[in-house]
């Protein structure tokens, strides 16, 4: 493993990034330390000293929710509180909004900020939502430091500078801040509900597909966030297929450590690159389409990572096909017609309401304008596809490798196995129309532009992810 893919050595990572970013365009990496070990939970007192820059006598608020998180039979919050008793004035504050799982909406954010009032530092104990709430509570209390005790490997948000919150019932990613120190105890994480860790694994494997969409979009002049240093981190992180996935179901520390590390690298790269585009391609828009459908029908929204994992198999299949076959040829390029696209959006999203149609059309117009403005790049990139295909080949792992890993992790590897179940018709709708949502450009946009996004091609792309068993 190179230093670019080791979040537990942040100084080494910063050093490795320096020569790759001579102009200093990357955002500063605001984390002080990430610990991923079997004893990280015992390092809270030391982390507080480091985060505060001075020993003892500070007021500490430990934010947690009502989910009882146990470490060797004892509640983790009690264990942490006891650890701090001699040196600090520490209090545990439990956030309870009446929901089974905490909702990161304004009520909870205000509650967290209020509970942290007067504290010199915040300790959060929990999964992604708790960490994200803690970032905002720290921000609203004058930017006091935060030590995040990570209890599941469910998302990549433990090590980034944004928070996923709920606004009017819809998930939004908003800028917040980096936690100061992240402590990931692999034993506690190994006992988290399996569906959380396998969802984290689904999210993690988009590392083996999404960077290709980001690179494609930047080659075509449509994405200006591209940075070679960020690509180098992504490549270092995805250098080896995740052969350790089979240990996740049993909570094996070595596998949990690898998963936690990959997710931490993802958080860091999106933070320093100041964009989620590097980690969000075809697979993410398919997942967003499913969320859109469920939200519009007031149905439960599935775990993001679990959906992304299945959709990554579709993305990898499409990408490898475009890399290995003589598919992309400049002669097939046709300038898209915005009236046709808008009409198609109307047909695809009309049943979800006028507001959604208008939002997608607005995004499509912005994307279309950029495509037309960069048309010469489309001609040159498709004209030199064989050369570019070699570079894409480095960024995309074959679907079969990813499927085997996803299966051995114990996570869902087909749409009907997701919770809530995604029936074939919905999976097909989400995939067929994924390029009509959001203003980012990905491989499916290009296939559509070349007349290759046909019913036949879509059915082929989905043929391995529709089985129930
Ligand atoms: Zn994601």
Distance 172 CA to ligand 1 centre (A): 12
Burial of 463 (0-12, 13-18, 19+ CB in 10 A): exposed
Q: Is residue 5 part of a domain?
A: no
Distance 354 CA to ligand 1 centre (A): 27
418 in the same domain as 436: yes
300 in the same domain as 276: yes
pTM beyond 0.85: yes
Q: What is the pLDDT of residue 469?
A: 65
Q: pLDDT (tens digit, 9 = 90+) per residue, 258-294? A: 999 999 999 999 999 999 999 999 999 999 999 999 9
Q: Is residue 176 part of a domain?
A: yes
In the chain, % of residues over pLDDT 70: 99
Q: Residue 87 is part of a domain; what is its CATH number?
A: 3.40.50.1970
Chain centroid offset of residue 60 CA: 30
Residues with CB under 5 Å of ion ligand 1 are: 203
Distance 53 CA to ligand 1 centre (A): 33
Distance 119 CA to ligand 1 centre (A): 32
Final residue in a domain of this structure, among 130, 162, 192: 192
Distance 219 CA to ligand 1 centre (A): 23
Distance 170 CA to ligand 1 centre (A): 15
Confidence of residue 100 (pLDDT cuts 50, 70, 90): confident
Distance 49 CA to ligand 1 centre (A): 33
Q: Is residue 2 part of a domain?
A: no
354 in the same domain as 207: yes
Distance 217 CA to ligand 1 centre (A): 18
Distance 323 CA to ligand 1 centre (A): 24
Cα separation, 342 vs 365, in Å, equals 8
Distance 79 CA to ligand 1 centre (A): 32
Distance 189 CA to ligand 1 centre (A): 19
330 in the same domain as 390: yes
Sign of CA dihedral 211, 291, 419, 189: positive
Q: pLDDT (tens digit, 9 = 90+) per residue, 4-35? A: 999 999 999 999 999 999 999 999 999 999 99
Q: What is the pLDDT of residue 2?
A: 85
Distance 145 CA to ligand 1 centre (A): 26
Number of structural domains, the chain?
2
Distance 165 CA to ligand 1 centre (A): 14
Cα separation, 283 vs 294, in Å, equals 17
Structural domain of 275: 198-462
Region 162-190: what's the mean pLDDT? 92
Distance 82 CA to ligand 1 centre (A): 35
């Amino acid at each position: 493993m190179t230093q670019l893919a080791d979040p537990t050595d942040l100084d080494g990572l910063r050093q490795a990034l320096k020569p790759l970013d001579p102009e200093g365009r990357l955002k500063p990496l605001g984390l002080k330390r990430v610990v991923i070990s079997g004893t990280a939970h015992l390092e809270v007192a030391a982390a507080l000293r480091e985060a505060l820059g001075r020993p003892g006598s500070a007021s500490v608020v430990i934010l947690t929710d009502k989910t009882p998180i146990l470490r060797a039979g004892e509640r983790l919050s009690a264990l942490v509180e006891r650890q701090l008793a001699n040196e600090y004035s520490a209090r545990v504050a439990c956030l309870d909004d009446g929901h089974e799982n905490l909702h990161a909406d304004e009520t909870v954010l205000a509650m967290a900020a209020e509970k942290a009032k007067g504290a010199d530092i915040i300790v959060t104990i929990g999964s992604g939502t708790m960490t994200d709430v803690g970032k905002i509570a720290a921000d609203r209390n004058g930017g006091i430091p935060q030590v995040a005790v990570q209890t599941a490997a469910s998302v990549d948000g433990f090590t980034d500078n944004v928070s996923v919150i709920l606004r009017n019932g819809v998930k939004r990613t908003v800028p917040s801040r980096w936690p100061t120190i992240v402590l990931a105890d692999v034993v506690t994480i190994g006992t988290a509900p399996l569906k959380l860790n396998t969802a984290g694994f689904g999210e993690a494997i988009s590392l083996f597909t999404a960077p290709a969409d980001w690179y494609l979009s930047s080659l075509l002049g449509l994405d200006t966030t591209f940075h070679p240093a960020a690509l180098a981190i992504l490549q270092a992180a995805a250098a080896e297929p995740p052969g350790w996935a089979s240990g996740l179901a049993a909570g094996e520390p070595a596998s949990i450590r690898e998963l936690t590390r990959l997710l931490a690298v993802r958080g860091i790269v999106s933070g320093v690159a100041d964009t989620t585009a590097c980690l969000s391609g075809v697979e993410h828009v398919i997942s967003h389409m499913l969320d859109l459908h469920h939200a519009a029908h007031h149905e439960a929204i599935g775990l993001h990572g679990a959906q992304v994992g299945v959709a990554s198999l579709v993305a990898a299949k499409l990408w490898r096909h475009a890399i290995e076959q003589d598919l992309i040829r400049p002669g097939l390029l046709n300038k898209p017609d915005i009236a046709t696209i808008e009409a198609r959006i109307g047909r695809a999203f009309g049943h979800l309401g006028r507001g959604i149609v208008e939002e997608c059309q607005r995004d499509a117009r912005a994307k279309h304008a950029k495509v037309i403005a960069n048309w010469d790049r489309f001609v040159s990139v498709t004209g030199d596809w064989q050369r570019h295909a070699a570079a894409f080949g480095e960024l995309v792992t074959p679907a079969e490798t990813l499927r085997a890993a996803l299966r051995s992790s114990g996570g869902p590897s087909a749409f009907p196995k997701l919770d809530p179940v995604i029936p074939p018709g919905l999976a097909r709708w989400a995939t067929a129309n994924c390029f009509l949502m959001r203003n980012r450009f990905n491989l499916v946009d290009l296939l559509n532009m070349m007349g290759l996004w046909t019913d036949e091609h879509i059915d082929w792309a989905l043929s391995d992810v529709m089985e129930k068993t």
